[in-house]
Amino acid sequence: MPAPSLTQTSSSTLSPERLGLVLGFVGMAIFGGTLPATRIAVSAIDPLALTAMRTAIAGIASLALLVAMRRPFPPRRLWIQLGVASLCVSVLFPFLMALAVTTVDASHGGVVMGALPIATAFVAVLITHERPRPLFWIASLAGAALVVAFALRQGGGALTSGDLLLFAAVAASAIGYAFSGRLTGEMPGWEVISWALVVALPVSLPAAVFLAPSHPGEIALKPWLALLYVALFSQWIGFFAWNAGMAIGGIARVSQMQLLQPFVTFALAALVNGETITPQIVLFAAAVVATVAISTRTRKQNAPRAR
């Protein structure tokens, strides 16, 4: 029996489905580190300054890549959508999240942010006029109720300011992701996030210069590394892997990787931030993930395919 050729071996090893899942996992893992890294960064950098600096750094990197790749400007009909995506993904979401983690642990935020796929699907349904099955709405409402119940239980029967900021961050991110998803029907996913960051540069760059710490040498290395992580990985490179994974392996299949994100956040919060992950946190996260899985599977998939 002849030995398999190198081509055959590579094909079986790097099938589109497997490569898509690997890229999706990489993107998900990068996003899972956002909350722990942000919590480290805000320990020494003001949340507003952190937002401006991370967006400006990612915007400069995006502009350099777009110029190097000689990408044309997006058509004018897409500018409004790009503006909405830019405002939500590169300004509101990172700022609200940075404010939130000054008062709540990254693990707490991981449970609340676990409802992001539900919120994103809800916004996508509204802007694409889909008609999902009733079970989608039941699962979505159940997931939202679980997140609120978790926040109330952790807050002693009341929602804290950190919870309200996290809910606002989820809403902003969901809107930004939904509009970004629509734009992937017009251009590759890496271009969508890059142009969204470039659109923000006229504001983010001056704000970063103005708000930068006056005594940067007094800040330890760890917060600076956390800033670079959220700027280059969470804000930019993570979308490359995530969008490419969905384009290669299929949206429905690869998006299921997002169900693992809360648990990646828990692991990193314990390892990097020294947080204690209680059974209650894990149980609530697992329940939220279950509702996300149900809502994802019962939603009618007629949104444009990422590429």
pLDDT confidence band for 252 (50 / 70 / 90): low
Taking only the tens place, the pLDDT of each residue in 142-163 is 888 889 899 888 877 778 899 9
Kindly report the pTM of this predicted structure.
0.84
Q: Would you say 251 and 301 are in contact if contact means Cβ atoms under 8 Å apart?
A: yes
Structure tokens at 305: 């395919």
- pLDDT at residue number 35: 95
Taking only the tens place, the pLDDT of each residue in 33-81 is 999 999 999 999 999 999 999 999 999 999 999 999 999 999 999 999 9
DSSP state of 217: G
pLDDT confidence band for 184 (50 / 70 / 90): confident
Query: For residue 303, is pLDDT > 50?
Result: no
The Cα–Cα gap between 35 and 44 comes to 15
- pLDDT at residue number 38: 97
Taking only the tens place, the pLDDT of each residue in 73-125 is 999 999 999 999 999 999 999 999 999 999 999 999 999 888 887 787 788 77
- pLDDT at residue number 10: 41
Section 176-192 average pLDDT: 85
What is the number of other CB atoms lying within 10 angstroms of the CB of residue 160? 17
Phi, psi of 46 (to 5 degrees): -60, 140
Taking only the tens place, the pLDDT of each residue in 256-298 is 777 788 999 999 999 999 999 999 999 999 998 888 888 767 7
pLDDT confidence band for 307 (50 / 70 / 90): very low
To the nearest whole number, what is the mean pLDDT of the chain? 86
pLDDT confidence band for 14 (50 / 70 / 90): low
Question: Which of residues 82 and 181 earns the better pLDDT score?
Answer: 82
Residue whose C-alpha is closest to residue 117's, from 262, 218, 234? 262
Query: For residue 208, is pLDDT > 50?
Result: yes
Dihedral sign of CA atoms 141, 142, 143, 147 in order: positive
pLDDT confidence band for 186 (50 / 70 / 90): confident
- pLDDT at residue number 11: 42
Query: What element of type H or E holds 55?
Result: helix 47-68
CA dist list (Å): 274 to 82, 112, 277, 298: 38, 19, 9, 38
Phi, psi of 250 (to 5 degrees): 100, 135
Query: For residue 4, is pLDDT > 70?
Result: no
